[in-house]
Amino acid sequence: MNFLRNLLASILGTFITLAIILVLFIIIISAMASSVGDIKSVELKSNSVLELKLESLVKDYAPKSDDPFDKLFGFDNDKIGLNSILNAIENAKDDENIKGISITTLGVNAGIAQTQAIRNKLLEFKESGKFIKAYADIYDQKSYYFSSVADSIFMNPVGAVDFKGLSSEVLFFKDLEDKTGVKMEVIRHGKYKSAVEPFLYNEMSDANRKQVTTFLKSIWNEMVVDISNSRNKTIEEINNVADNLLARNATLAIENNMMDGAIYVDEYTNKLKIACGISLDDDLNKISISDYISIGKGRIIATASDKIAVIYAQGEIIYGKGDENLIGQDLIIKALKKARKDSNVKAIVLRVNSPGGSALASELIWRELELTKETLPLVVSMGNVAASGGYYLSCNADRIFAEPTTITGSIGVFGIIPNFSKLANTIGVNAEQVSTNKGANYSVFEPMTDEFRLVTTEGVEAVYTTFLERVAKGRNMTIEAVDSIAQGRVWSGVDALNNGLVDELGNLDDAILYAAELAEITDYKVKNYPSYKVELEDRFNNFPFMKTKEKVLIEELGEANYKIYQTIKQFSKLEGIQARMPYLIDIQ
Residue 438, SS3 per DSSP: coil
Transcribe 466-479 into DSSP letters.
HHHHHHHHHHT--H
Q: Residue 307 forms beta bridges with which residues? A: 345, 525
Rounded Cα distance between 104 and 51, Å, is: 7
Residue 425, CB-side half-sphere exposure with 13 Å CA sphere: 11
Transcribe 201-221 into DSSP letters.
-SS--HHHHHHHHHHHHHHHH
Rounded Cα distance between 562 and 550, Å, is: 9
Active-site positions? 193, 388
**Nearest by Cα to 216 from 163, 148, 248, 169:** 169
Q: Would the CA dihedral through 486, 489, 495, 496 be positive or negative?
A: positive
Could you give phi then psi for residue 44, rounded to 5 degrees? -95, 110
Which helix (H) or strand (E) covers residue 371, if one does?
A: helix 359-373
Any residues with CB less than 8 A from the CB of 516 and at least 6 apart, and which?
308, 346, 347, 522, 524
First to last CA, the chain: 73
Any residues with CB less than 8 A from the CB of 155 and at least 6 apart, and which?
135, 136, 137, 138, 139, 161, 250, 253, 259, 261, 262, 263
> Where would I find the beta strands (DSSP E) of 454-581?
490-492, 504-505, 525-529, 578-580
**Nearest by Cα to 510 from 393, 392, 379, 384:** 379
Rounded Cα distance between 352 and 430, Å, is: 47
Any residues with CB less than 8 A from the CB of 209 and at least 6 apart, and which?
none
Q: Tell me if 582 sits within 8 A of 193, measured CB to CB.
A: yes
